[in-house]
Amino acid sequence: MANAPAIVVENLTKIYRSHVKKEGLWNSLKSLIHREYRTHVAVDHVSFQIAQGELIGILGANGAGKTTLLKMLSGILYPTGGSAQVLGYIPWERSNEFKRRISLVMGQRNQLWWDLPAADSFLLNKEIYQIPDRDYHQRLTTLATMLDVAHKLHVQVRRLSLGERMKCELIGALLHNPRVLFLDEPTLGLDVVSQQTVRDFIKRYNRETGTTIILTSHYMEDIEQLCERVLVLDQGTIAFDGSLEQLIHSYVQEKIIRITFRTTVERSELSRYGIVEEWQPRQTVLRVPRSDVASITSQLLLEFPVIDLTVEEVPIESIIRKIFA
């Protein structure tokens, strides 16, 4: 069906079982006869659906299960329980048809050959995915131009900067025109300029091609700029599934007011309006109840020599810290 969800997940679970051995020779011998095991639930009965063409972000603390979830959806890991379908395929069956329709980019893993130019790795991908010559050259030119690395394709990968390598990783992942793209920390370790270039590319690519994209990131700017919908994972379970706006309204009942004064205003004069987060003689940052923003701003404008006032949402980083606290 044309309008069928791209991804359907029901009660997906992944439990790791690891051998536990205490130190010492005697305990080593004991473990040969009687082994002790510890279990860790990485993903715990997770259920959700993703529409075709959607770009969603997955947030979570370290160990929350983000990467494990992506690995199951891309077929790298076999689940302990539950079910999932990606474009109608069961991911861990790893059928060739499925692998031609998805791609996975991990910020800490390389698919490109380190000692060869990226162009050589792209040619290998061309043969693996049996991409027609015309499509290959057209996509390569378009992607390299969009990411501004056309002049770097014939340079050894080891000689590229981290940002240039990540751009080439994205090209390699998209040459076969996948319908679902999994991105695990794509901006990890990149400088500010490279991060923004990658974000702009992901947003434009999703808009122009309709590719379904699932993104995990520790950088809140990635999520804020790219994703209208977010999943928050906490200890393997979904703590929240909805829009960023809903996330803010669900967990934060306050707003931030930044004020610049024409003359000095004492801190004690401002504390009756809200929590004074920052204070300087002519500048302050107040945290006030969301429901009182209108009345408080009116009072501030009437009672103080205000030359600039802005109202902002609480930073998304603070919201995430609050959720996981």
- Tell me which amino acid residue 138 is: Q
Question: Are residues 257 and 130 both part of a single domain?
Answer: no
- Candidates 324, 155, 127; CA nearest to 240 is 324
Judge contact between 1 and 24, C-beta under 8 A: no
Question: Are residues 125 and 177 both part of a single domain?
Answer: yes
Element (H, E) at 73: helix 66-73
In the numeric block, which tokens belong to residue 264? 């000095």
Question: Are residues 222 and 280 both part of a single domain?
Answer: no
CB count in 10 Å sphere of residue 47: 14
What's the confidence (pLDDT) of residue 324? 66
Question: Are residues 201 and 73 both part of a single domain?
Answer: yes
Domain enclosing residue 109, as ranges: 52-81+88-249
Question: Are residues 134 and 280 both part of a single domain?
Answer: no
In the numeric block, which tokens belong to residue 175? 């040459």
106 within domain boundaries: yes
At 199, is the secondary structure helix, strand, or coil?
A: helix
Torsion (CA) 72, 75, 79, 81 in degrees, nearest 10: 100
- Which positions ≥6 away from 296 have C-beta within 8 Å? 257, 273, 274, 286, 288
What's the confidence (pLDDT) of residue 113? 87
Residue that is last in its domain, among 222, 249, 276? 249
211 within domain boundaries: yes
181 within domain boundaries: yes
309 within domain boundaries: yes
- Give CA–CA dist 164/29, Å, rounded: 50
- The CATH number of the domain where 268 resides is what? 3.30.70.250
Question: Are residues 233 and 260 both part of a single domain?
Answer: no
Question: Are residues 194 and 210 both part of a single domain?
Answer: yes
Question: Are residues 142 and 70 both part of a single domain?
Answer: yes
Question: Are residues 190 and 204 both part of a single domain?
Answer: yes
Query: How far is Cα of residue 165 from the mean position of the Cα atoms in its chain?
Result: 19
19 within domain boundaries: no
Number of domains in the chain: 2
- Give CA–CA dist 291/286, Å, rounded: 14
263 within domain boundaries: yes
Strand bridging mode 212-216 / 55-60: parallel
Question: Are residues 110 and 243 both part of a single domain?
Answer: yes
Count the helices and strands in the chain (H runs, E runs).
12, 13
In the numeric block, which tokens belong to residue 142? 């378009």
User: b vs e for 231-245, b when ≥16 Cβ sit within 10 Å of the residue's Cβ?
Assistant: bbbbebebbbbeebe
In the numeric block, which tokens belong to residue 48? 């959700």
Question: Half-sphere exposure of residue 62, counting CA atoms within 13 Å on the CB side?
Answer: 0
- pTM for the model stands at 0.79
- Give CA–CA dist 278/301, Å, rounded: 19
Question: Are residues 178 and 113 both part of a single domain?
Answer: yes
Residue that is last in its domain, among 249, 273, 308? 249
What pLDDT tens digit does each residue of the chain (325 aa) get? 456 899 999 999 999 887 777 777 776 777 767 777 788 899 999 999 999 999 999 988 778 888 899 999 999 999 999 999 999 999 999 999 999 999 999 876 678 888 899 999 999 999 999 999 999 999 999 999 999 999 999 999 999 988 899 999 999 999 999 999 999 888 888 888 888 999 999 999 999 999 999 998 877 778 888 998 999 888 889 988 988 878 877 777 888 999 999 999 999 899 889 999 899 989 999 999 888 999 999 999 999 999 999 988 777 667 776 766 6
- The CATH number of the domain where 72 resides is what? 3.40.50.300
41 within domain boundaries: no
Judge contact between 226 and 199, C-beta under 8 A: yes
209 within domain boundaries: yes
